[in-house]
Chain A
Amino acid sequence: MEELKELYQQVILDHNKNPRNFGELPIYNHHAEGHNPLCGDQIEVFILVNEETGKIEDVKFKGAGCAISKASASIMTTLLKGKTIDEAKKLFDDFHKAVTSDPTTDKDVINLGKLAVFCGVREFPARVKCASLAWHTMLNALENHEVKKVSTEAL
């Protein structure tokens, strides 16, 4: 099944098995919790933004979820380091396009780089929420210095 292979390509299986940046940051200034009540997925994202440079110095996540949600969180953390908050928000938009756009009509999705791995998700609309949870939680963490809980039900 081609779509399935694309969804669960080696990159995703690998990140699921060996998630990068998994755990808590000892010091952080942005944090949020995310919850997908439909499947019970839970995630916490910790971000340390350097106040002087405005760049993301470190990021980690922890939680439990399916392969798609775990791999998505893991890949996200590898892409965020060194980015400014605006760049991180742009990355969120690109990710969103990757999982939702129709590749036959939307030309914007061509240069997704590492985010291209998420394109397989759009064949399975029921799984878009799984892939998105970490990203929405990250966005929430950046927008709020305070701890805040996001839920996919409100997205």
Chain B
Amino acid sequence: MSELDAKLQEIRSDFPLLNRLVYGKPLVYLDNAATTQKPKCVISAISDYYLNYNSNIHRGVHRLSQEATDEYEKSRKIIKEFINARKSEEIIFTRGTTEAINLVARSFVRPRLKEGDEIVISHMEHHSNIVPWQIICEETGARLRIIPINDSGELQFDELEKLLTEKVKFLSIVHVSNSLGTINPIDEIIKKAHSIGIPVLIDAAQSIQHFKIDVQKLDCDFLAFSGHKIYGPTGIGVLYGKESHLEAMPPYQGGGDMIKSVSFERTIYNDLPYKFEAGTPNIEGAIGLGKAIEYVKQIGFHFINTHEQNLLEYAHKVLSQIDGLKIIGMAKRKASVVSFVLDGVHPHDVGTMLDVEGVAVRTGHHCTEPIMKRYGLPATTRASFAFYNTIDEINVLTESVKKVIKMFS
């Protein structure tokens, strides 16, 4: 057994679900861009919380509450270090990327937006980085401007430069496209936007699990990601924001934990980060996410990057050799996501037929309808790889795709 095979076998044994059968066949899980599987350590951390110290945080004087608070805050610190934020106060727990973007739209951008202003996003955004901006544009009479993409699925940089004028009050952009896999040059984009004073949010939902992100080096104003795409639980996510921005922003939601004192005449809001965490939060989610990030750090981005890029290259090679298969999204820099279409076979039929072979892929518009329209497609089939996937699994995918084509020919 090669060193890589041994390492993969060890990694895969950390993910109990990967051992299951689907329709009597070994599961080949290639839907990691939708959600990742969870390692045992994450599952144990969550069950440990409920078995041993379940209680509310920041409230009780009793021992359990202190333990829960400590673990919850420990996760915040793990995340702070993971993305290299200056302070733990800059890490806000949210329900996910979507809520983090909505929080920024509502509390940071909306108050400073007026008729005639502009917000810039790109053509490859997920619906969650389109609709929150549309809502506040509609409320204020501001305009949403779109950076176009070329046929390979890359941003048209010259068009971006034209769009960045003094009318623009905010730029929100995806780091890695969930349906095309394109990696956007966010460092250059942030520099360009900052040169004329435009704050930037990075949607890192599809990049946080693949690449080392350093928010100080990037100098982004905000960054959003979801726990469940980085091997953590669902229902928990993170908004990073520069402290000065977060301090200046009004609260997003009102309630318990986000206040210092309440009277009917006047309420004093709590300090960061609690000002943005109203109500009892997703405590087990935060604890699970902290554990997931420790696990990813232990695997290491060196292995993750190398192995996932190998998988991507191999998948590109073998899939593009299939007659009648077309890969959608051929950017020069891509994360391990392959979207494709087959001549004469609808992606939904592909998805069902791969399913009975044990292969889990995503089919549909991937919450990126504008991209589908851009390519004139109703949907694509998408295979997305994690560091626990193998070359053998890509071979199963390829053979299954060939079976689909044979059945429909």
**Interface of A toward B, CB cutoff 8 Å:** 1, 3-4, 7-8, 13, 16, 38-42, 64-68, 124, 126-127, 130
Q: How far is the CB of B130 from chain A (nearest CB, A)?
A: 15
Known A-B contacts A39-B379, A40-B379, A67-B408; A4 and B346 likewise in contact (beta carbons under 8 Å) = no
Known A-B contacts A1-B356, A3-B356, A4-B353; A39 and B348 likewise in contact (beta carbons under 8 Å) = yes
Q: Are B364 and A39 in contact (CB under 8 A)?
A: yes
Known A-B contacts A39-B364, A65-B346; A124 and B378 likewise in contact (beta carbons under 8 Å) = no
Contact with A8, one of B23, B365, B407 (Cβ below 8 angstroms): B407
A-B contact pairs, 19 of them (CB 8 A): A3-B356, A4-B352, A4-B353, A8-B349, A16-B408, A39-B363, A39-B364, A40-B365, A40-B379, A42-B378, A65-B346, A66-B347, A66-B348, A67-B346, A67-B349, A68-B349, A124-B352, A127-B352, A130-B348
Work out how many contacts link A and B, with CB atoms closer than 8 A: 49
Q: Does B372 contact A (CB under 8 A)?
A: yes
Q: How far is the CA of A67 from the CA of B379 in the complex (A)?
A: 14
Q: Are A39 and B378 in contact (CB under 8 A)?
A: yes
Q: How far is the CA of A126 from the CA of B357 in the complex (A)?
A: 16
Given contacts A4-B356, A16-B408, A42-B378, 14 further A-B contacts (CB under 8 A): A4-B352, A8-B353, A8-B407, A13-B408, A39-B346, A40-B372, A40-B378, A64-B378, A65-B378, A67-B408, A68-B348, A68-B349, A126-B352, A127-B348
Residues of B within 8 A of A67 (CB): 345-346, 349, 408
Q: How far is the CB of A53 from chain B (nearest CB, A)?
A: 37
Residues of B within 8 A of A127 (CB): 348, 352
Residues of A within 8 A of B23 (CB): 1, 3
Q: How far is the CA of A38 from the CA of B364 in the complex (A)?
A: 7
Please count how many residues in chain B sit with their CB below 8 Å of the partner chain's CB atoms.
Answer: 18
**Which residues of B in the span 338-360 have a Cβ within 8 Å of any Cβ on A?**
345-349, 352-353, 356-357
Residues of A within 8 A of B356 (CB): 1, 3-4
- Which residue on chain B has the smallest CB distance to residue A65? B346
Q: How far is the CA of A42 from the CA of B352 in the complex (A)?
A: 19
- Which residue on chain A has the smallest CB distance to residue B24? A1
Q: How far is the CB of A155 from chain B (nearest CB, A)?
A: 17
Q: How far is the CA of A3 from the CA of B353 in the complex (A)?
A: 10
Q: How far is the CB of A39 from chain B (nearest CB, A)?
A: 5
Contact with B407, one of A13, A124, A130 (Cβ below 8 angstroms): A13
Q: How far is the CA of A124 from the CA of B363 in the complex (A)?
A: 15
Q: How far is the CA of A68 from the CA of B349 in the complex (A)?
A: 8
Known A-B contacts A1-B23, A38-B364, A40-B379; A66 and B346 likewise in contact (beta carbons under 8 Å) = yes
The 8 closest A-B pairs by CB, nearest first: A40-B378, A66-B346, A66-B348, A1-B356, A4-B356, A67-B349, A66-B349, A39-B348
Q: How far is the CA of A38 from the CA of B372 in the complex (A)?
A: 12
Q: Counting chain A CB atoms within 10 Å of each CB, which of B347, B349, B407 scores highest?
A: B349
- Which residue on chain A has the smallest CB distance to residue B350? A66
Q: How far is the CB of B289 from chain A (nearest CB, A)?
A: 29
Residues of B within 8 A of A65 (CB): 346, 378
Q: How far is the CB of A69 from chain B (nearest CB, A)?
A: 8
Q: How far is the CA of A68 from the CA of B346 in the complex (A)?
A: 10
- Which residue on chain B has the smallest CB distance to residue A67? B349
Residues of A within 8 A of B372 (CB): 40
- Which residue on chain B has the smallest CB distance to residue A70? B346
Q: How far is the CB of A131 from chain B (nearest CB, A)?
A: 11
Q: How far is the CB of A91 from chain B (nearest CB, A)?
A: 25
Residues of B within 8 A of A40 (CB): 364-365, 372, 378-379
Q: How far is the CA of A13 from the CA of B344 in the complex (A)?
A: 12
- Which residue on chain B has the smallest CB distance to residue A126? B352
Q: How far is the CA of A33 from the CA of B23 in the complex (A)?
A: 36
Residues of A within 8 A of B349 (CB): 8, 66-68
- Which residue on chain B has the smallest CB distance to residue A127? B352
Residues of A within 8 A of B363 (CB): 39
Residues of B within 8 A of A3 (CB): 23, 356
Contact pattern, B 378-409, Cβ under 8 Å of A = 1, otherwise 0: 11000000000000000000000000000110
**Which residues of B in the span 363-381 have a Cβ within 8 Å of any Cβ on A?**
363-365, 372, 378-379
Residues of A within 8 A of B347 (CB): 39, 66
Q: Are B378 and A41 in contact (CB under 8 A)?
A: yes
**Which residues of B in the span 129-182 have a Cβ within 8 Å of any Cβ on A?**
none
Q: How far is the CA of A66 from the CA of B378 in the complex (A)?
A: 10
Q: How far is the CA of A130 from the CA of B379 in the complex (A)?
A: 14
Residues of B within 8 A of A38 (CB): 364
Q: How far is the CA of A4 from the CA of B400 in the complex (A)?
A: 13
Q: How far is the CA of A67 from the CA of B342 in the complex (A)?
A: 13
Q: How far is the CB of B63 from chain A (nearest CB, A)?
A: 47
Q: How far is the CA of A151 from the CA of B357 in the complex (A)?
A: 31
